[in-house]
Amino acid sequence: MTVYFIGAGPGAPDLITVRGQRLLASCRVCLYAGSLVPRELLAVCPPGARLVDTARLDLDRITGELVRAHREGHDVARLHSGDPSVFSAVAEQMRRLDAAGVPYVMVPGVPSFAAAAAALGRELTVPAVGQTVVLTRIARQATPMPEHEDLATLGRSRALLVLHLAARYADAVVAELLPHYGADCPAAVVAWASRPDELVLRGPLGTIGDQVRAAGVTRTAVIMVGRVLGAGQFPDSHLYSAGRDRGAGPSGCPAPSGSPEPPGHPEPSGRLDPSGPPPAPSTGGAGPSGVGGAGGRDGGPAGGPGPVGR
């Protein structure tokens, strides 16, 4: 039996992937982050499925539920908000499943920063303005940040910063970034992205802390800082340039004659078929421990500090 780490998306229930929804409908056990995962998704679970809210469970108890389901012969849908590859804490779960001999599969989801970009109506990479996106957080009420990943160090790049787990400390974030980005640098905060109560705040970096405080935003938000958020005058990309040789492959080599698809665009596989078989599980090798998955952590008690960006 297999544990499926499924990205539930940023909040809107219809932003789960087709694959994620299909697997959710087939698993007899579902563990979910109760304060973050849309309740509507639980209705997709098969009748009589065992539903476990992990919001108040520690790692030992979560692992125990996963191993128990495996021993009882049940596939498990382990629902994480956003995408399990970022800030989801799946790495330590996978490490324990490796030790227990339980196979697992990661199923991607729509991350919170992508939903925030959609709410802003912005591409996050703009020619000649910004081609780098830094996903990070701050170390308040959370695992300490690694050396050289503090905001001052990251801010020196002046790349677009996307901060999770930081809305409650927006004033401190602004203070650390002002020397590197300047008070007039475009910034935005998107709370509850893709949900009916979605809130978007925009303005110069120097004012964004005041806006966050006035709006009462303390969680379930991402902070974005970077010149690309206000870019209007920039050159067209080479991708659609009239001068680009469209007879060449990605490396500049001539495309094979008679190729039915443009180079770099292979025929889609049958794995996208909702009725197709599930992906093959991993048999180990989850990698080093740590935050492994643009997902989201299980939420804390209602009203308490919780994850942002979901």
Instruction: Quote the CA–CA distance of 109 and 101 in Å, as a whole number.
Output: 25
Instruction: Quote the CA–CA distance of 40 and 117 in Å, as a whole number.
Output: 24
Q: What is the pLDDT of residue 238?
A: 85
Q: What is the pLDDT of residue 253?
A: 54
Q: What is the pLDDT of residue 269?
A: 38
Instruction: Name the CATH superfamily housing domain 127-230.
Output: Tetrapyrrole methylase, C-terminal domain (3.30.950.10)
Q: What is the pLDDT of residue 118?
A: 97
Q: Which residues of the chain have pLDDT under 50?
A: 259-274, 285-310
Facing residues of 186 across strands?
Answer: 204
Q: What is the pLDDT of residue 249?
A: 58
Chain region(s) in the chain for CATH 3.40.1010.10:
3-111
Q: What is the pLDDT of residue 285?
A: 47
Q: What is the pLDDT of residue 287?
A: 39
Q: What is the pLDDT of residue 105?
A: 97
Reference 298, options 142, 117, 133, 113; nearest CA is 142
Output the CA–CA distances (angstroms, integers) from residue 172 to 34, 164, 193, in the order listed.
29, 14, 23
Rounded percentage of the chain residues whose pLDDT exceeds 90: 66
Output the CA–CA distances (angstroms, integers) from residue 1 to 44, 68, 72, 132, in the order listed.
20, 11, 9, 40
Q: Provide the Cα torsion 108, 110, 113, 116; round to 10°.
A: 180
Chain region(s) in the chain for CATH 3.30.950.10:
127-230
Mean per-residue pLDDT over the chain, rounded? 84
Q: What is the pLDDT of residue 247?
A: 79
Are 291 and 142 spatial neighbours (Cβ–Cβ below 8 Å)? no
Tell me, which fold does domain 3-111 have in CATH? Answer: Cobalt-precorrin-4 Transmethylase; domain 1 (3.40.1010)
Reference 198, options 168, 220, 224; nearest CA is 220
